[in-house]
Chains A and B, each alone.
Chain A
Amino acid sequence: MGQKKLLTGNHAIAEAVKIAKPDVIAAYPITPQTPIVEKLAEMTENGELDAEFVRVESEYAALSVILGAISAGARGFTATSSQGLLYMYEVCWWVAGSRLPMVMAIATRAIGAPWNIHGDHNDIIVLRDTGWIIGMVENAQEAFDMTLQAFKVSEEVSLPFAVGLDGFQLTHTAEVVEIRDYELPKRKLLPHTIEPSSKFALNAVTSGIPKLKARHEQAKDLEKAKEIIKEVDKEFPVSYGGLVEEYKLEDADYIVVMMGGWCGDAKDAIDLLRKDGIQIGMLRLRFLRPFPTKEIEKLDGNILVVDRSNSDYRGVLGLEVSAIKNGIKNVITGFGGMELDTQDFVKIFKKFVNNEIKDVEWWYGSAER
């Protein structure tokens, strides 16, 4: 058993990064991610962590510095949120397309306009098409665990890994977190590592087929990441179930599909409904990419997807799940820091069980629209 510490989600990530020993860290402040990089700056300044901490002028620069560092075979880390993620978006594609490993923490938050610095998932979902591995945790312990695993998985498949944790809900609330005894292997050198002796150009101009091939290889390796995520999860001091966590699913007639910090409250609601004899359970998505297609195919029951992000009139997870399953219900809520407690979930789930939820429903709770 490792040492136990009282840590916020942000500091849990910083502690995991310290164990991973990145060579280069570059990041730019943005609420609610800032305490991660402040902590890492402190660790590097006081010698706890032997990394180069680069004070950059923007998120675009932050990810660009890491892109350079990981091309040189170094281990890299950054963290951001919302506007910052959008600001570095071009480089996100380049990191994934360059087939280089790294880890980025994303403290998920609403995107303007209008201004809102509180939690939802509309930022992290923009990574869906880039080729990044995208995880979403439920609590500070999982934030710690997934960050450590992220370095391993990312370096196995040469794809970058984003660890999402809900802004404020997880980033700024403290929990007891076990610091795992876990050692990462040294980063292995890829054939396209850049050194003065390298005899090639990285990312030169392509046209047509070579581009299709590059993107195809990337997609195949993202698929391959599914097995690696499961293996790394299995050999870890605790296992979460791989791409998904199944909660009271075995006999469930009603299944809610969700991801992130609010799953804890939703599980409490499930426990309450179970006491009333309602057979309800949850499939918690731990990963948005690679998407747990098989795990969703297997589901046998009525499905409700609860989303904290939207595209068009639907929720983003709703869209993803409906590509696999017909007849699902989709609730969209919790934007901009809107809090849902156990009772809210009890209400939503009861309506779902009573078949009173519309196919797509924007949920305001008891608040006025």
Chain B
Amino acid sequence: MVLLKGNASCQGCPHSIAFKALSYLENPIVLMPAGCSTVIAGLHPNSSLEIPCVHVPFPATPAVSYGLSTGLKKRGIKANVVAWMGDGSVDISYSLLTGSALRNDDIIVIVVDNEAYMNTGVQSSGTTFWKAKTTTSPKGKREERRDVALQMALHRVPYVATASIGYMRDFIKKVKKAGKVEGFRFIHVHCPCPPGWGFESSKTVEIARKAIQCRAWILWEYENKKFRISNISKKARGNGLKDYLLSQARLRHLSDEDIEEIRRRIEEEWKLLEHLEKL
């Protein structure tokens, strides 16, 4: 257990599920920018995490993580330093994140992506789903969505993966793998958020699985310079997109044409990954 009972997470919080994966790392230290996780981690002087936790300014996580990792190394202490970032944190830390990847900093970045700035009240972020309503995109998001994991892989770092809290065994396997590698490691975790997306708090895992089945979220790994679509996503048939979209209040306004456009975009992403896998 990394996250203790009685913490401040909402019912059905995906982040609180994701935290479990950290218990599979040796000597973990987690660094946390502002976000829902900051609140979940507890009020001073208490901590709801069983591992050491360092709270950092919202845009600073990759660099502070690397400083900590280097400082400990200088003192001869081994640790797995984890930058635990939200999707909003990715937006505001982007230059530090690519800088860290370029240097191949010895850290693990885990992005818990609930597709919006949830802690500040559901504002649109770089990864917010196409056309999704948020408080800053009340008619639906018009911009692209950022594929941050792919962008990180193009820095030719040792390990990149996508994961989902709907498939914890796969996520944990990837975290374990990352823990054994040195250098910059990046895992992008899909985290459906009940209050932010508008679905029942008992359905977090169900929605996360639907996302995988319809390929709105695709699981893959990049290792030894090779892309590989993970088995779970290979087996997924790409069915149930409409059901996935309409089971969330943020997407319930979509017309049939909107859904077709989203289907096209998902197919493009899938084809790109298939292509990368063949390289």
Q: State the A residues within 8 Å of B (CB).
A: 23-24, 26, 52, 54-58, 60-62, 64-74, 76, 90-91, 94, 194-207, 210
Contact = CB atoms under 8 A, between A and B. Distances in A.
A363 to B, nearest CB: 39
10 contacts: A57-B98, A64-B56, A64-B67, A65-B67, A67-B67, A71-B68, A76-B67, A199-B52, A204-B41, A206-B43
B67 A60 contact: no
A10 to B, nearest CB: 24
Which 8 residue pairs across A and B have the least CB separation, nearest first?
A68-B67, A72-B71, A64-B63, A74-B71, A57-B99, A69-B71, A68-B68, A196-B27
B42 A65 contact: no
B54 A71 contact: yes
Contact of A204 (B53, B57, B62, B78): B53
B70 A69 contact: yes
A201 B68 contact: no
A54 B52 contact: no
Interface in B34-75: 38-39, 41-47, 49, 51-57, 59-60, 62-75
Nearest to A23: B74
B78 A91 contact: no
Contacts of A67: 56, 60, 64, 67
A72 B72 contact: yes
B54 A202 contact: yes
Q: Determine the main DSSP class of B at the interface with A.
A: mixed
Contact of B75 (A73, A202, A203, A205): A73
B29 A204 contact: no
Contacts of A58: 95-96, 99
Interface string B67-93: 111111111011100000000000000
B12 interface: no
Nearest to B49: A201
A280 to B, nearest CB: 47
Given A204-B47, A205-B43, A195 B79 contact: yes
A56 B52 contact: no
A64 B56 CA distance: 9
Contacts of A198: 29, 52
A64 B64 contact: yes
A278 B114 CA distance: 72
B53 A201 contact: yes
A148 B51 CA distance: 36
A203 B43 CA distance: 9
B95 A52 contact: no
A205 B44 contact: yes
B40 to A, nearest CB: 10
Contacts, number: 166
B78 A196 contact: yes
Interface residues of B, number: 45
Contacts of A199: 52
Given A94-B57, A196-B27, A196-B29, 7 more contacts: A23-B75, A64-B63, A68-B68, A202-B52, A203-B55, A205-B42, A210-B45
B52 A195 contact: yes
B183 interface: no
Contacts of B59: 60, 90
Pick from B43, B45, B64 the residue with the most CB of A within 10 Å: B64
Interface of B: 27-29, 31, 38-39, 41-47, 49, 51-57, 59-60, 62-75, 77-79, 95-96, 98-99, 103
Contacts of B29: 194-196, 198
Nearest to B31: A68
Contact of A74 (B28, B45, B51, B74): B74
Contact of B69 (A60, A66, A68, A207): A68
A68 B39 contact: no
Contact of B66 (A68, A73, A90, A206): A68
B71 A56 contact: no
Contacts of A70: 67, 71
B99 A56 contact: yes
By CB atoms of chain B within 10 A, which of A55, A60, A66, A71 has the most?
Answer: A71
A62 B96 CA distance: 10
Contacts of B99: 56-58, 61
A351 B47 CA distance: 63
Contact of A72 (B27, B46, B67): B67
Given A67-B67, A68-B65, A201-B47, A195 B96 contact: no
Nearest to B78: A196
B32 to A, nearest CB: 8
Nearest to B26: A196
A89 to B, nearest CB: 10
A201 B70 contact: no
Which of B28, B52, B65, B99 has most A Cβ within 10 Å? B52
B232 to A, nearest CB: 32
A24 B69 CA distance: 11
B96 A23 contact: no
Contacts of A55: 103
B158 to A, nearest CB: 19
A201 B40 CA distance: 12
A96 to B, nearest CB: 13
B52 A200 contact: yes
Contacts of B42: 201, 204-205
B75 A74 contact: yes
B27 A60 contact: no
